[in-house]
Structure 1
Amino acid sequence: MNETVTFGEVLMRLSPEGNKKISQSNRLEFYFGGTEMNVGASLAYFGNEVKHVTCVSDDIVGEAAISTMKRYGLDTGSVVKCNAPLGLYFLEVGAVMRSSTIAYNRAHSAFSGITPGMVDWKEVLAGSDWFHWTGITPAISEGAWRTLEEGLKQARKNGMNVTADPTYRKDLWNYGKDARKILAGLLEHSTIFIGGVNEINEILGTDHSGDKDGFVKAAKELLNRVPSLTKVFDKVRNGGNASCQKISARAWNGKEYLETEALEITHVVDRIGTGDAYAAGLLYGLQHFDDEKAITFANAACALKHTIAGDVNLVSADEVMQVAEGHISGRIKR
Structure 2
Amino acid sequence: MNQTITFGEVLMRISPLGNRKFVQSNAIEFYFGGTELNVGISIANFGGKVKHISCISDDFIGDTALSYLNKFDLDTSSIVRSSRPLGVYFLEVGAVMRPSSISYNRSHSSFSEIKPEMVDWKTALENGTWFHWTGITPALNRGSQQTLLEGLKLARKKGMTVSADPTYRAGLWKYGENAKEVLSELINYSTIYIGGINEINELLETNYSYSNDDFIKASKHLMEQFPSIEKVFDKIRTSINSSWHKIKARMWNGTEFKETNELDITHIVDRIGTGDAFAAGIIHGLQHFDDYKAMEFGNAACAIKHTYLGDVNYANEKDVMTILNGNTTGRFTR
TM bucket by the smaller chain? over 0.9
CA distance in 1, matches of 2:98, 2:271: 13
**Which amino acid in structure 2 is aligned with residue 227 of structure 1?**
P
Which residues of structure 1 form unaligned runs of 5+? none
Q: Deviations over 1:134-190 (max 9, x none)?
A: 000001110000000000000000000000000001111110110010000000000
- Give yes or no for the alignment of 1:58 onto 2:51: no
Q: Is the 8 A contact 1:45 1:73 kept in 2?
A: no
- Give yes or no for the alignment of 1:180 onto 2:180: yes
CA distance in 1, matches of 2:73, 2:88: 22
**Which amino acid in structure 2 is aligned with residue 115 of structure 1?**
K
Aligned-pair distance for 1:27?
1.1
**2:285 counterpart residue number:** 285
**1:256 counterpart residue number:** 256
Q: Deviations over 1:283-334 (max 9, x none)?
A: 0000000000000000000000000000000011011001001011100011
Q: Is the 8 A contact 1:7 1:36 kept in 2?
A: yes
Aligned-pair distance for 1:210?
1.0
Which residues of structure 2 form unaligned runs of 5+? none
**Which amino acid in structure 2 is aligned with residue 40 of structure 1?**
G
**1:22 counterpart residue number:** 22
Q: Deviations over 1:198-253 (max 9, x none)?
A: 00000111111111111111000000110011110000000100100000000000
Q: Is the 8 A contact 1:184 1:203 kept in 2?
A: yes
The percent of aligned pairs where both chains have the same amino acid is 60
The Cα RMSD (Å) is 0.5
Q: Secondary structure at the residue paired with 1:246?
A: strand
CA distance in 2, matches of 1:73, 1:36: 16
- Give yes or no for the alignment of 1:32 onto 2:29: no
CA distance in 2, matches of 1:191, 1:237: 24
Alignment of 1:127-206 (within 5 A): 127-206=127-206
CA distance in 1, matches of 2:133, 2:154: 14
Alignment of 1:207-286 (within 5 A): 207-286=207-286
**Which amino acid in structure 1 is aligned with residue 177 of structure 2?**
K
Q: Is the 8 A contact 1:13 1:31 kept in 2?
A: yes
CA distance in 2, matches of 1:81, 1:172: 23
Q: Deviations over 1:51-106 (max 9, x none)?
A: 00000011111111100011122111111001111000000000000000000000
**1:106 counterpart residue number:** 106
CA distance in 1, matches of 2:110, 2:93: 26
CA distance in 1, matches of 2:323, 2:160: 30
TM-score under structure 2 normalisation? 0.99
CA distance in 2, matches of 1:175, 1:128: 31
Q: Is the 8 A contact 1:135 1:183 kept in 2?
A: yes
Q: Secondary structure at the residue paired with 1:117?
A: helix
Q: Deviations over 1:109-146 (max 9, x none)?
A: 11011001100111110121100000000011100000
**Which amino acid in structure 2 is aligned with residue 14 of structure 1?**
I
Q: Secondary structure at the residue paired with 1:219?
A: helix
CA distance in 2, matches of 1:236, 1:25: 34
CA distance in 2, matches of 1:72, 1:266: 29
Q: Secondary structure at the residue paired with 2:97?
A: coil
Q: Which runs of 4+ in 1 moved over 6 A?
A: none
- Give yes or no for the alignment of 1:85 onto 2:72: no
CA distance in 1, matches of 2:265, 2:11: 27
CA distance in 2, matches of 1:321, 1:26: 40
Aligned-pair distance for 1:37?
0.2
